[in-house]
């Protein structure tokens, strides 16, 4: 049933009116995503608690499974406070500016071989373009809150999102060059034998890093850094508005994880092919998406936050040159029609070089270890002058 | 694209009020940062939100009641604070403390150093942006040691266990065994935090070369404890002006080379290892039996008139008690030289020119206790 | 002018070894050589409430002590008194100065190679009631490993002491605290605004003795009188 609704693709002809079917599809996907986000909050809390050797939510429902429902009820029923001096238009508009693009991205994502809201030839471009709009919302929220922390957070968010957009798009461009299409569907189909992570490891690493930055998750949570700007742009938002921001964050996490699963891990295609049925395909997609999410959580619990200058220099001085190099190498391979193994070799070499560079830059100056002083002259203090 | 020069659109530095309610000010501390973009150009620390007139209060408390207030002042290194206070009174009264009591004092003080440094490591991880993992690791082991303290003193936070001339009462029968158990878990905790943070690339990148102080600067600003040692001054009151039974215990003082935030972290981690060593030795040397409080102490403690400046090496640095007595059972004047207060003096100098995020790191690396700052 | 450094009632600390007794042995009332020069007339008569001595002789520092080094380095400065005060282990020299000599002496203490007192570990204000206000500096030398206590006294009416924040940056906050608590103005301090107290609280000095914690003391007088505290452990 649900399948019939979501499958609004023209080829399926579930509904005659494409506009109506797209609208229905959007509504359904919004609802499903909201539920998925509720589960994600529960899972995140549980998984992070595991990594930190504690239990996480346990009280509400079995294993705390009903915790997100309680949280949602609480958040929705909370009073929404708006500062008296806030810029009302910017304050409210920011919500839409962040919330809407996150869900619009989902329109172009093919969950299985024939499960998507709207097919398009340039779906990858669409996803990146619409997904990149959210920084406007952060700026609006930062300005509209009339709070210096929010302003700092908004500025940081704008700088960070724009900076990391570039290496991410370039890494995607490298993949598009290999596949020869900017349609996510075609990219998935291309990976029927070997997923693209094998041919493009460097692009994958760049994508993964830039994704964490785009999602503003640790260690790139500089715009919302709790210990510095105390929530950043969200500092003045409360109740339902705040929960919408959180919802958006998780929807983005799903969207980018799905994108990574489709573009680099083969989505529902690899390794079983297209013919296994939509159920298995969906399961496969979810598993690959979960890999990304677990990775994000793992990173979250293990790394401190970068500083803003380190963040910027990492994007512009490290990721961007490597992304450009990847494109250049792919171009060479394509122009001279070299075998695919060369792709692996060049990209893999680039990935290793990237890792080595990051490692060595941090340890650029070997530091002396602590001196251990065992015998301080233990002269009795007192009147004995030197 | 050239911006028109308009006087009403002048570029100014933005003051940001951080605290007194802020996640990373470690209590009710407020600093007004003036930032130019992300760079800090000026800092004005504001303290005193927790000022309770502790020194005045202690003038109204007799020498036994004051012990409880010392706890409440330095609430992360309670035993060190108590020890500094009772040392001052004992020195003025001329009380000889029994050996067993001295050893138990050292054991508890060093275990307390572990809990305090665990607290630092956990909170510092959060300051650096780690999502609570270091806090959880640190608190896990800290709980074991606090359980031990609770078994002995009957209280989880305000121990009030040391007395002038010894201890309040005998430790529990399984004290030695419980200490060994605590040490085992503490070693695991130290290792976990070490693995998590010390060689973490981002952590290193965030900590190194931040808030660096040379040895001369550190001395001039009156820093003490790990802050001073990280700057390369091998000074530890346990070695330099030994008190209690520390001369009989073998341990090393870690001394940093760079004086930055990272060195302060490393020094504290290494101090925890040394504390484990100290406790192990002290447990070996602990006389199995003997009095735990000096004999012939009067019910009402009175000191002869005089003054003394007693100091102990608390986890934060030199905890000094300047005690003036006019005779009688109360101090005439009691000045608490709190290491947090003195270390915080250097905040402005360390922070100016750093990034906003580094101001948080520098403050975190000072490991201040706000009750101790304000007294 | 700085009031006369009237001798406070520091007392020679009995040696820890022989002092298991509950009170210090009564010391003779006779003044030692170090404070013999002071006019006895300015000493306010304090009635002895108990048999314990309120003042005690001070031990003169042994020859070659820090006070002699300072006197040699600064011939103009007169050290009003020099005596030993107990430290954690052993004893340390304490000197009393006129307030105007404090910066010069501390400068010498820091810079003179024989003294090399580079560390100001503590700066305290003390209210001696009739005898005025006192500022106590505790100095330490990392190089020479000796410590020195410097004291100076001022009157309530003229409670101004030259700041040493330029010599020891560590003194900055300590002096602000002493101003908050005792109303000692430190002339030449770069930023002598309230530190621990509210910004507008500039005329109330809580740690002075003329602001007693009356209620607490009365309560203690009633409830913790000797003998009344039998129930305590």
Interchain proximity A218–B130, CB inside 8 Å: yes
**Burial (Cβ within 10 Å: 0-12, 13-18, ≥19) of residue C184:** buried
Q: How many CB pairs under 8 A join A and B?
A: 147
Distance (Å) from the alpha carbon of C195 to chain B's nearest alpha carbon:
6
Q: How confident is the model at residue A376 (pLDDT cuts 50, 70, 90)?
A: low
Do residues A195 and A323 both lie within one domain? yes
Note the pLDDT tens digit of each residue in B203-213: 888 888 888 88
3-class secondary structure, C137: strand
pLDDT at B269: 92
Which one of A21, A55, A77 terminates a domain? Answer: A77
Residue A373 lies in a domain: no
> Domain total for chain A?
2
Share of chain C above pLDDT 70, in %: 67
Mean pLDDT calculated for residue range B271-287 = 90
Do residues A38 and A99 both lie within one domain? no
Comparison of pLDDT for C36 and C151, the residue scoring more = C151
Mean pLDDT calculated for residue range A5-28 = 62
Do residues A96 and A45 both lie within one domain? no
Do residues A91 and A56 both lie within one domain? no
The answer, yes or no, to whether residue A378 has pLDDT greater than 70, is no
Q: How confident is the model at residue C14 (pLDDT cuts 50, 70, 90)?
A: very low
Note the pLDDT tens digit of each residue in A64-90: 889 888 988 888 888 888 888 888 888
Cα–Cα distance between A216 and A311 in angstroms, integer?
Answer: 12
Residues 156-215 of B with CB under 8 A from C: 168
Do residues A286 and A215 both lie within one domain? yes
B309 touches chain A (CB under 8 A): no
**Spatial contact of A379 and C87, defined as CB atoms under 8 Å apart:** no
The answer, yes or no, to whether residue A319 has pLDDT greater than 60, is yes
ipTM of the complex: 0.84
Interchain proximity A383–C145, CB inside 8 Å: no
Note the pLDDT tens digit of each residue in A89-126: 888 888 888 888 888 888 888 887 777 777 788 888 89
pLDDT at A207: 92
Closest CB to A368 among B137, B201, B257: B257
Residues 367-386 of A with CB under 8 A from C: 377, 379-386
Do residues A16 and A97 both lie within one domain? no
Note the pLDDT tens digit of each residue in A202-218: 889 999 999 999 888 88
Q: How confident is the model at residue A24 (pLDDT cuts 50, 70, 90)?
A: confident
Do residues A147 and A219 both lie within one domain? yes
Residues 232-271 of B with CB under 8 A from A: 232, 234-236, 239-242, 247, 250-258, 262-263, 266-267, 270
The answer, yes or no, to whether residue B144 has pLDDT greater than 60, is yes
CATH number belonging to domain B21-374: 1.10.645.10
Mean pLDDT calculated for residue range B188-201 = 87
pLDDT at A10: 41
Residues 56-85 of B with CB under 8 A from A: none
Note the pLDDT tens digit of each residue in C195-230: 888 888 777 788 887 776 766 667 767 776 665 544
Chain B: list its partners (3+ Cβ pairs within 8 Å): A, C
Residue A332 lies in a domain: yes
Closest CB to C69 among A377, A381, A385: A385
Chain A: list its partners (3+ Cβ pairs within 8 Å): B, C
The answer, yes or no, to whether residue C44 has pLDDT greater than 60, is no
Which one of A47, A77, A107 terminates a domain? Answer: A77
Nearest CA in chain C to B297: C22
The answer, yes or no, to whether residue C231 has pLDDT greater than 60, is no
Contacts of B9 (CB under 8 A, 6+ apart): B3
Do residues A47 and A168 both lie within one domain? no
Nearest CA in chain C to A381: C146
Query: Taking chain A, what is the end-to-end CA distance rounded to the nearest angstrom?
Result: 93
| Chain C residues close to B311, C-beta within 8 Å | 88, 121
Burial call B329-364: b when 16+ CB within 10 Å, e when fewer? bbbbbbbbbbbbbbbbbbbbbbbeebbbbbbbbbbb
Interchain proximity C116–A386, CB inside 8 Å: yes
Distance (Å) from the alpha carbon of C3 to chain B's nearest alpha carbon:
21
Mean pLDDT calculated for residue range C44-48 = 46
Q: Which two tokens mark A319?
A: 């990721």
| Chain B residues close to A221, C-beta within 8 Å | 129
Do residues A85 and A72 both lie within one domain? no
Do residues A122 and A264 both lie within one domain? yes
Interchain proximity A386–C144, CB inside 8 Å: yes
Q: How confident is the model at residue B111 (pLDDT cuts 50, 70, 90)?
A: very high
Mean pLDDT calculated for residue range C36-52 = 44
Comparison of pLDDT for A266 and A362, the residue scoring more = A266
Mean pLDDT calculated for residue range B108-136 = 89
> Which of B340, B355, B345 is closest to B26 using CA atoms?
B340
Lowest mean pLDDT among A112-116, B36-40, B101-105, B171-175: A112-116
Nearest CA in chain A to B200: A303
Dihedral sign computed on CA atoms, order A324, A330, A332, A335: negative
Note the pLDDT tens digit of each residue in C97-135: 888 888 888 888 888 777 888 888 888 888 888 888 889
The whole-model pTM stands at: 0.84
Q: Which two tokens mark C18?
A: 């022989």
**Spatial contact of A186 and A179, defined as CB atoms under 8 Å apart:** yes
Do residues A91 and A195 both lie within one domain? yes
Which domains can be identified in chain C, with CATH numbers? Answer: 66-200 (3.30.460.80)
Interchain proximity B344–C181, CB inside 8 Å: no
**Burial (Cβ within 10 Å: 0-12, 13-18, ≥19) of residue B11:** exposed
The answer, yes or no, to whether residue A379 has pLDDT greater than 50, is no
Lowest mean pLDDT among A17-21, A125-129, A263-267: A17-21
Share of chain C above pLDDT 90, in %: 0
Interchain proximity C121–B337, CB inside 8 Å: yes
The answer, yes or no, to whether residue B151 has pLDDT greater than 80, is yes
Interchain proximity C146–A377, CB inside 8 Å: no
Closest CB to A381 among C115, C143, C145: C145
Do residues A115 and A44 both lie within one domain? no
Containing structural domain, residue A312 = 80-361
């Amino acid at each position: 049933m649900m399948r019939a609704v979501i499958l609004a693709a023209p080829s399926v002809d579930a509904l005659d009116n494409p506009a109506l079917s797209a609208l229905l599809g959007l509504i359904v996907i919004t609802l499903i995503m909201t539920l998925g986000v509720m589960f994600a909050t529960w899972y995140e809390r549980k998984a992070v608690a595991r990594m930190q050797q504690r239990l996480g939510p346990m009280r509400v429902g079995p294993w705390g499974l009903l915790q997100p429902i309680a949280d949602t009820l609480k958040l929705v029923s909370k009073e929404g406070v708006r500062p008296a001096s806030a810029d009302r238009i910017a304050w409210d508009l920011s919500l839409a500016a962040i919330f809407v693009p996150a869900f619009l991205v989902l329109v172009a994502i093919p969950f299985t071989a024939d499960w998507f809201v709207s097919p398009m030839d340039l779906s990858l471009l669409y996803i990146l373009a619409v997904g990149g709009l959210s920084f406007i919302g952060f700026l609006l929220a930062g300005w509209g809150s009339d709070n210096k922390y929010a302003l700092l957070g908004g500025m940081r968010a704008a700088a960070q999102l724009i900076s990391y957009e570039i290496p991410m798009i370039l890494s995607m461009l490298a993949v598009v060059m290999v596949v020869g299409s900017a349609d996510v569907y075609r990219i998935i189909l291309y990976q029927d034998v070997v997923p693209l992570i094998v041919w493009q490891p460097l692009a994958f690493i760049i994508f993964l890093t830039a994704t964490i930055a785009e999602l503003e998750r640790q260690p790139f949570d500089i715009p919302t850094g709790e210990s510095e700007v105390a929530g950043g742009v969200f500092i003045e938002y409360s109740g339902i508005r705040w929960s919408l921001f959180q919802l958006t964050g998780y929807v983005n996490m799903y969207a980018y994880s799905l994108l990574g699963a489709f573009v680099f891990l083969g989505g529902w295609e690899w390794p079983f092919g297209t013919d296994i049925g939509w159920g298995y395909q969906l399961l496969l997609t979810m598993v690959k998406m979960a890999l990304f999410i677990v990775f994000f959580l793992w990173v979250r619990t293990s790394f401190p936050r970068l500083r803003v200058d380190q963040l910027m220099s990492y994007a512009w001085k490290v990721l961007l040159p490597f992304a450009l190099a990847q494109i250049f190498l792919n171009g060479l391979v394509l122009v001279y029609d070299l075998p695919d193994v060369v792709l692996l070799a060049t990209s893999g070499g680039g990935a290793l070089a990237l890792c080595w560079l990051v490692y060595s830059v941090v340890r650029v100056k070997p530091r002396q270890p602590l001196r251990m002083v065992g015998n301080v002259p233990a002269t009795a203090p007192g009147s004995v002058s030197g | 694209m050239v911006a028109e020069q308009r006087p009403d659109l002048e570029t100014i530095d933005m003051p940001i009020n951080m605290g007194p309610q802020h996640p990373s000010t470690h209590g009710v501390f407020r600093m007004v940062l003036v930032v130019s973009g992300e760079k800090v150009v000026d800092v004005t620390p504001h303290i005193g939100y927790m000022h309770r007139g502790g020194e005045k209060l202690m003038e109204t408390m007799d020498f036994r009641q004051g012990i409880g207030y010392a706890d409440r002042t330095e609430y992360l290194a309670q035993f060190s604070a108590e020890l500094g206070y009772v040392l001052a009174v004992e020195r003025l009264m001329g009380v000889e403390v029994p050996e067993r009591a001295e050893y138990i004092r050292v054991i508890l003080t060093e275990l307390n150093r572990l809990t305090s440094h665990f607290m630092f490591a956990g909170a510092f991880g959060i300051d650096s942006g780690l999502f609570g993992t270091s806090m959880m690791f640190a608190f896990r082991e800290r709980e074991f040691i606090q359980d031990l303290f609770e078994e002995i003193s009957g209280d989880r936070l305000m121990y009030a266990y040391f007395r002038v001339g010894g201890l309040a009462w005998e430790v529990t029968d399984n004290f030695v065994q419980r200490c060994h158990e605590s040490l085992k878990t503490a070693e695991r905790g130290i290792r976990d935090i070490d693995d998590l943070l010390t060689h973490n690339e981002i952590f290193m990148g965030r900590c190194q070369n931040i808030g660096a102080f040379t040895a001369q600067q550190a001395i001039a600003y009156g820093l003490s404890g790990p802050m001073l040692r990280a700057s390369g001054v091998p000074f530890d009151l346990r070695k330099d002006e030994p008190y209690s039974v520390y001369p009989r215990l073998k341990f090393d003082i870690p001394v940093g080379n760079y004086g930055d935030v990272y060195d302060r972290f490393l020094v504290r981690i290494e101090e925890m290892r040394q504390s484990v060593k100290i406790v192990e030795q002290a447990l070996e040397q602990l006389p199995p039996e003997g009095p735990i409080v000096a004999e012939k102490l009067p019910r009402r403690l009175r000191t002869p008139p005089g003054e003394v400046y007693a100091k102990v090496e608390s986890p934060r640095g030199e905890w000094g008690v300047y005690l003036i007595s006019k005779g009688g059972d109360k101090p005439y004047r009691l000045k608490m030289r709190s290491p947090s207060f003195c270390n915080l003096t250097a905040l402005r100098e360390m922070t100016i020119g750093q990034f906003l995020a580094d101001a948080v790191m520098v403050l975190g690396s000072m490991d201040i206790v706000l009750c101790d700052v304000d007294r | 002018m700085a009031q006369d450094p009237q001798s406070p009632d520091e007392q020679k600390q009995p040696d820890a070894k022989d002092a298991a007794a509950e009170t210090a042995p009564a010391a003779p009332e006779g003044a030692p050589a170090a404070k013999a020069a002071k006019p006895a007339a300015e000493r306010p008569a304090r009635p002895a409430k108990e048999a314990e001595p309120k003042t005690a002789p001070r031990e003169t520092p042994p020859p070659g002590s820090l006070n002699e080094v300072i006197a040699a380095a600064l011939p103009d400065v007169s050290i009003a008194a020099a005596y030993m005060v107990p430290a954690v282990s052993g004893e340390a020299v304490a000197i009393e100065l006129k307030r105007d000599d404090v910066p010069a002496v501390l400068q010498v203490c820091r810079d003179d190679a024989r003294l090399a007192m580079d560390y100001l570990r503590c700066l305290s204000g003390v209210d001696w009631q009739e005898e005025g206000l006192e500022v106590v500096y505790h100095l330490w030398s990392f190089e020479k490993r000796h410590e020195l206590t410097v004291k100076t006294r001022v009157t309530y009416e003229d409670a101004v002491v030259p700041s040493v924040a330029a010599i020891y940056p560590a003194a900055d906050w300590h002096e602000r605290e002493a101003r908050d608590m005792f109303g000692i103005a430190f002339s030449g301090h770069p930023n002598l605004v309230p530190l621990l107290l509210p910004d507008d609280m500039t005329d109330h000095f809580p740690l002075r003795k003329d602001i007693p914690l009356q209620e607490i003391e009365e309560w203690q007088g009633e409830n913790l009188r000797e003998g009344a505290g039998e129930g305590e452990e």
